[in-house]
């Protein structure tokens, strides 16, 4: 039975590298994969970018209103009426890999689960759990709720401890207010931090702060 996998980690934990390696492993065995990422992630345009310098064109940029299950259903039946996946041979998709899966809508995550259950196509989704304020992204929250398998990709903080949080920088300064989505390298930068370094940098835990207000 196909499964929905959510492989998550803080920034710079090698998620895109792992995705590209998974794609290579499938294709080395003569199997066809699809690469997708949400349209909101403008970094790299229509490419998956690895910090190691490896990149690859994606097959599908997912808009917020994209019905992923309908799209995949049409693709495997060889009649993609949307023309978003015009070059996919019928019944030839061995795996769907999704980069930056935190930017999916909860409905699209449900689509991914249906792809695994009803179309029997494995889905490997890669993303981060929480934003720069330690709050979960809607897509990540839904993946944590329904994915068959959860796997943490680990990285380390500047101090050597395990990094869990994502600190947002503007210039040399950490910031803790603003919109949830601000793409790395476009307006801001990010640094993966352990909880101690996150709090030392000025971050707060929102539910504790609300209780003390």
CB 73 within 8 A of CB 119: yes
DSSP conformation letters of 11-72? TTSSHHHHHHHHHHHHHHTT-EEEEEEETT--TTTTEEE-TTS-EEE-SEEE-TT--HHHHH
- Torsion angle, CA of 201/176/152/62, rounded to 10 degrees? -150
Q: Which residues pair with 136 in a beta bridge?
A: 130
For residue 149, give the H/E element and its range.
strand 149-152
DSSP 153-196: PP-B-TTSSBP-EEEEEETTEEE--S-S---BTTTBEEEEE-HH
Active site (catalytic) residues: 100
């Amino acid at each position: 039975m196909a499964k929905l996998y959510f492989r998550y980690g803080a920034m710079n934990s090698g998620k895109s590298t792992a995705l590209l390696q998974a794609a290579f492993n499938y294709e080395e065995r003569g199997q066809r994969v699809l690469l997708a990422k949400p349209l909101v992630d403008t970094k790299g345009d229509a490419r998956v970018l690895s910090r190691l310098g490896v990149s690859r064109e994606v097959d599908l940029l997912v808009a917020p209103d994209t019905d992923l299950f309908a799209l995949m259903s049409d693709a495997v039946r060889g009649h993609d009426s949307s023309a978003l996946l015009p070059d996919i041979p019928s019944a030839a998709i061995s795996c769907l890999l999704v980069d930056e899966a935190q930017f999916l809508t909860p409905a699209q995550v449900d689509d991914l689960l249906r792809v695994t259950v009803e179309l029997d196509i494995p889905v490997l989704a890669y993303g981060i759990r929480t934003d720069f304020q330690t709050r979960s992204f809607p897509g990540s929250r839904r993946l944590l709720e329904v994915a068959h398998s959860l796997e943490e990709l680990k990285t380390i903080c500047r101090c050597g401890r395990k990094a869990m949080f994502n600190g947002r920088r503007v210039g040399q300064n950490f910031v803790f207010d603003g919109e949830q989505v601000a793409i790395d390298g476009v307006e801001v930068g990010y640094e993966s931090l352990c909880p101690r370094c996150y709090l030392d940098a000025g971050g707060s835990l929102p539910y504790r702060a609300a209780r003390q207000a």
